């Protein structure tokens, strides 16, 4: 087997409940190289979050294996930080406190207090949130909460950053600002990122590769599209770029022609 930074190796996942078993994912095979930005797109309920949860180690695979740097993933760990659609900040802690909690957990034994403080501030700076460090989650906007969630994830220095529709609950303008931030951070840090999205433009704008899932049950990877756009990418310039338009069309055709979603009766 050839080496890949992250390997989803012929993975299947079934859930059993009250005597019946549903196969959600079947034979999902994917290799991701270090520093790649990969989006997963597919219709509602096809198993995107399930796949991300398997990579996060939040749920076990039924068949196959997930390997990060050749080591099998079978439990959660700070090397795979996850940001969800709805922020999961602790309401009683400040913005700083939320990031600090994660930093203390991961680096409590290796960084001094002063280093941990500087590291928290550095990560809040990265997402342009240091000005709000003393605010509580209830005092900041949805977009700001997602920025803090991102800072907290980045502060763990994960090998792989997992984003489960991180901008899904945001208005279009806030979403665009956050997409730009994520592109800037990816350019600066070179993180390996796997992002679930329903948004075709977002997938094309941000990704090196777009993994398109077939409909469930027993969903699999239908196609993988390489996005041939140089970085840095500017959304306004891309709108008229033939390669951008072509990539967008390929994803749309996959979703709305070849794998049209049929609502269950």
Ligand X SMILES: Nc1ncnc2c1ncn2[C@@H]1O[C@H](COP(=O)(O)OP(=O)(O)OP(=O)(O)O)[C@@H](O)[C@H]1O
List of residues contacting ligand X (CB under 6 A): 15, 17, 24, 42, 44-50, 216
Helix or strand (DSSP H, E) at 37: strand 37-41
- Please list the alpha-helical segments (H only) found in 80-156: 95-107, 113-126, 142-155
Nearer to ligand X, 54 or 99 (CB): 54
**Which residues, in sequence order, are bridge partners of residue 11?**
28
Which of helix, strand or coil describes residue 178?
helix
Residues across the chain: 265
Nearer to ligand X, 47 or 57 (CB): 47
Distance in Å, CB of 240 to ligand X, minimum? 30
Nearer to ligand X, 40 or 144 (CB): 40
Backbone angles phi, psi at 150, to 5 degrees: -70, -40
Distance in Å, CB of 188 to ligand X, minimum? 29
Cis peptide bond N-terminal to 44, omega within 30: no
Half-sphere exposure of 242 (CA within 13 A, CB side): 0
Distance in Å, CB of 45 to ligand X, minimum? 5
Nearer to ligand X, 47 or 166 (CB): 47
Q: How far is CA 211 from the centre of its chain?
A: 12
The Cβ of residue 109 has, within 10 Å, a number of other Cβ atoms equal to 7
Distance in Å, CB of 173 to ligand X, minimum? 23
The burial class, CB within 10 Å (0-12 / 13-18 / 19+), for 120 is buried
Distance in Å, CB of 54 to ligand X, minimum? 10
Nearer to ligand X, 105 or 260 (CB): 260
253 — alpha (psi -120 to 50), left (phi > 0) or beta? alpha
Distance in Å, CB of 50 to ligand X, minimum? 3
Distance in Å, CB of 253 to ligand X, minimum? 19
Nearer to ligand X, 19 or 109 (CB): 19
Nearer to ligand X, 45 or 143 (CB): 45
Q: CA–CA separation, 139 vs 253, rounded Å?
A: 42
């Amino acid at each position: 087997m050839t080496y890949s930074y992250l390997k989803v190796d012929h993975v299947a996942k079934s859930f059993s409940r009250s005597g019946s078993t549903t196969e959600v994912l079947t034979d999902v095979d994917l290799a991701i190289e270090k520093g790649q930005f990969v989006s997963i797109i597919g219709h509602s309920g096809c198993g995107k979050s399930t796949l991300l949860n398997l990579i996060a180690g939040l749920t076990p695979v039924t068949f196959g294996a997930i390997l990060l740097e050749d080591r099998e993933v079978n439990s959660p760990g700070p090397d795979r930080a996850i940001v969800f659609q709805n922020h999961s900040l602790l309401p009683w802690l400040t913005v700083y406190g939320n990031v600090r909690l994660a930093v203390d957990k991961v680096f409590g034994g290796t960084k001094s207090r002063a280093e941990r403080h500087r590291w928290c501030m550095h990560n809040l700076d990265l997402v342009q949130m240091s000005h709000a460090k003393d605010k509580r989650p209830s005092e900041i906007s949805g977009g700001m909460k997602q920025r803090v969630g991102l800072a907290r994830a980045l502060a763990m220095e994960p090998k792989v950053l997992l984003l489960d529709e991180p901008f899904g609950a945001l208005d279009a303008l806030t979403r665009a600002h956050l997409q730009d931030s994520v592109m800037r951070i990816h350019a600066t840090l070179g993180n390996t990122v796997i992002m679930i999205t329903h948004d075709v433009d977002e997938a094309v704008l941000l990704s090196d590769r777009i993994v398109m899932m077939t409909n469930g049950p027993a969903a699999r990877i239908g196609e993988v599209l390489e996005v041939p756009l140089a970085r840095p990418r500017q959304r306004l310039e891309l709108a008229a770029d033939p390669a951008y338009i072509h990539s967008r069309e390929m994803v749309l055709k996959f979703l709305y022609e070849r794998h049209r979603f049929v609502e269950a009766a």
